[in-house]
Amino acid sequence: AQLRTLMSTLRQHEKDMIIQYENAVEVGKAKDAWTKTLAQIQSSAKALSDTLPHEADRAKVAEAMARMDKFKSAFLPVAKQLEAMGFDSARVAAAFMARATPDYDAAQSIIETLASDLELAASAGGKRLNATATTVMTLLGAAVVLMILLITPLTLLNMRSICGPIREAEGLADAIAQGDLTERSVDTRGKDEAAHLLQTLSAMQTSLRQIVGQVRASTDSISTASAEIATGNQDLSARTEQTASNLQQAASSMEQLTGTVKQSADSARQADRLASSAAEVAARGGQVVSQVVSTMNDINASSKKIADIIGVIDGIAFQTNILALNAAVEAARAGEQGRGFAVVAGEVRNLAQRSAEAAKEIKALIGASVDKVDSGSRLVADAGKTMQEIVGSVQRVTDIIGEITAASSEQSDGLTTVNSSVAQLDKMTQQNAALVEQSAAAAESLKDQTVRLSQAVSVFRLHDAAIAH
């Protein structure tokens, strides 16, 4: 039993190294425990071999240890690579470890076979012991008969006090040898050796009945519990495998979602750059419109100055016309002598009138131009306000896109963290699945051992009260 337990423990350390393939420290600890357990297996096997009486059984132990040596030789390189973190995943490490498993399985099979043989030998020894007890009781009966024949007078006198208890003792011992531990009505009164023998046998039967009853009850409880544990472990293993599959699908979906969010974040950053560029262009447009407004204001001021100058020219033309009229009047008064001067004054008057008319036309054109410049200035001012509103709107859009970009970055970081957590959870689920498989195997082994124990105890027959107890 100890050797079987150590073999299972060795297997557990091996699985611990595979599960902790990313942690060199834990792998080193598991390797040290594995080496210590292997030494205990070899020591236990040597002790077992020393106690075996048959050479064939000792040869089986030696063969099992030879297989374990081969398993050790194949296992140590994989363990060193595990300790150096040389595997990409637990599955790859398990595949390499599986190459050394046949030698371990062969050694375990030899040990299980040897254990079964030893159990059969023990059972046969028990049967031989029962046969010997029967023979002894038969010889004892023959001796009693012989004694009766030799000392008939004494036997006739002491028949009731000696032969009766001896027959009861014989029947009781035979019942015990056959496994019948049901309570019998035995007269144990008296102080002689026969009475003492009956008392001892009765006490032994009672003690055996209690012990076997307790063992049988415990065996039934263990059998029921082990069956429930085995069933529960199978269900848990199935659910754990389903959970692992769901986690793998979730991890794949999280990776796709992370990629989509990162792409959205990149698009948001590109939109942020475009919005910033549009804001700069709108700002420059606003500056240009402001310059146009300023230029239109300057043109408006210049137009007003030109209108003032034209007004001055119109006034000069009016005064010139009046002076020419006065000169014509004076020339008329002068008569023939002032006729030439009158002609000149008339021409001057005509020029003054044409200058006045031209000045009026220019003034009208300048007035219309001033009105149009005023209208243009108002339109440009409105355009400037509109550009300012556009710049403000673009700036708000830029701010919103910036907030979207920041939120997308935070979402991307959060999804990366969630993705890492899902991957870690998937790893832990895989480890739990391996532990559940080990627990299921242990429960099945316990169930088998319980069945064997029940079969061994079923040889004894008890009354109902002892079974209930």
Residue with tokens 């595949």: 95
Mean residue pLDDT of the chain comes to 76
The region, left, alpha or beta by phi > 0 then psi within -120 to 50, assigned to residue 195 is alpha
Compute the distance between CA of residue 215 and CA of residue 142 in angstroms, rounded to an integer.
36
Pick from 25-34, 118-127, 310-319, 337-346: least confident: 118-127
Closest CA relative to residue 435, chosen from 233, 286, 208: 233
pLDDT at 33: 92
Burial of 30 (0-12, 13-18, 19+ CB in 10 A): buried
Closest CA relative to residue 91, chosen from 19, 16, 26: 19
Q: What is the mean pLDDT of residues 100-114?
A: 83
Q: Helix or strand or coil: residue 23?
A: coil
pLDDT of 106 > 80? The answer is yes
| CA angle at 372 for the pair 371 and 373, rounded to the nearest 5° | 90
Q: What is the pLDDT of residues 319-354, one digit of tens each?
A: 887 877 787 777 777 777 777 767 777 777 787 778
Contact (CB, 8 A) for 223 and 455 = no
pLDDT at 397: 65
pLDDT of 158 > 70? The answer is no
Q: What is the mean pLDDT of residues 77-86?
A: 82
Identify the band that residue 245 occupies on the pLDDT scale cut at 50, 70 and 90.
confident
Task: Name the more confident of 437 and 463.
Answer: 437
End-to-end CA distance of the chain: 28
Phi, psi dihedral angles at 181 (to 5 degrees): -110, 15
Task: Name the more confident of 432 and 431.
Answer: 431
Q: What is the mean pLDDT of residues 297-303?
A: 73
How many contiguous H segments (helices) and E segments (strands) does the chain have? 10, 0
Contacts with 175 (C-beta within 8 Å, 6 or more apart), sequence order: 181, 182, 184, 205
pLDDT at 418: 65
pLDDT at 206: 77
Q: Helix or strand or coil: residue 180?
A: strand
pLDDT at 36: 92
Contacts with 79 (C-beta within 8 Å, 6 or more apart), sequence order: 17, 27, 31, 34
Contact (CB, 8 A) for 452 and 226 = no
pLDDT of 467 > 60? The answer is no
pLDDT of 154 > 80? The answer is no
Contacts with 37 (C-beta within 8 Å, 6 or more apart), sequence order: 6, 9, 10, 13
pLDDT of 160 > 70? The answer is no
Compute the distance between CA of residue 193 and CA of residue 212 in angstroms, rounded to an integer.
28
pLDDT of 469 > 70? The answer is no
> Which of 91-105, 143-157, 404-418: highest mean pLDDT?
91-105
DSSP 117-147: HHHHHHHHHHHHHHHHHHHHHHHHHHHHHHH
Q: Which two tokens stand for residue 314?
A: 């119109």
Contacts with 432 (C-beta within 8 Å, 6 or more apart), sequence order: 240
pLDDT of 90 > 70? The answer is yes
pLDDT of 6 > 80? The answer is yes
Q: Helix or strand or coil: residue 389?
A: helix
Compute the distance between CA of residue 52 and CA of residue 62 in angstroms, rounded to an integer.
12
pLDDT of 76 > 80? The answer is yes
Q: Helix or strand or coil: residue 4?
A: helix
Identify the band that residue 177 occupies on the pLDDT scale cut at 50, 70 and 90.
confident
Q: At what angle do helices 24-51 and 2-19 cross, to 10 degrees?
A: 160
pLDDT at 462: 65
pLDDT at 151: 65
Contact (CB, 8 A) for 6 and 44 = yes
Compute the distance between CA of residue 319 and CA of residue 302 in angstroms, rounded to an integer.
26
pLDDT at 186: 65
Q: Which long-range contacts (CB under 8 A, 24 or more apart) does 190-196 make?
A: 190/161, 190/165, 192/161, 192/162, 194/161, 194/162, 194/165, 194/166, 194/169, 195/165
Identify the band that residue 122 occupies on the pLDDT scale cut at 50, 70 and 90.
low
pLDDT at 68: 85
Q: What is the mean pLDDT of residues 305-327?
A: 77
pLDDT at 454: 74
Closest CA relative to residue 458, chosen from 115, 4, 123: 123
pLDDT at 74: 85
Closest CA relative to residue 443, chosen from 215, 241, 231, 216: 231
Q: Which two tokens stand for residue 5?
A: 């337990």
pLDDT at 178: 75
Domains of the chain: 2-124 (1.20.120), 218-459 (1.10.287.950)
Compute the distance between CA of residue 328 and CA of residue 343 in angstroms, rounded to an integer.
8
Q: Helix or strand or coil: residue 143?
A: helix
pLDDT of 389 > 60? The answer is yes
Identify the band that residue 356 occupies on the pLDDT scale cut at 50, 70 and 90.
confident
Identify the band that residue 213 occupies on the pLDDT scale cut at 50, 70 and 90.
confident
Closest CA relative to residue 186, chosen from 201, 465, 136: 201
pLDDT of 292 > 70? The answer is no
Compute the distance between CA of residue 294 and CA of residue 288 in angstroms, rounded to an integer.
10
Task: Name the more confident of 273 and 412.
Answer: 273
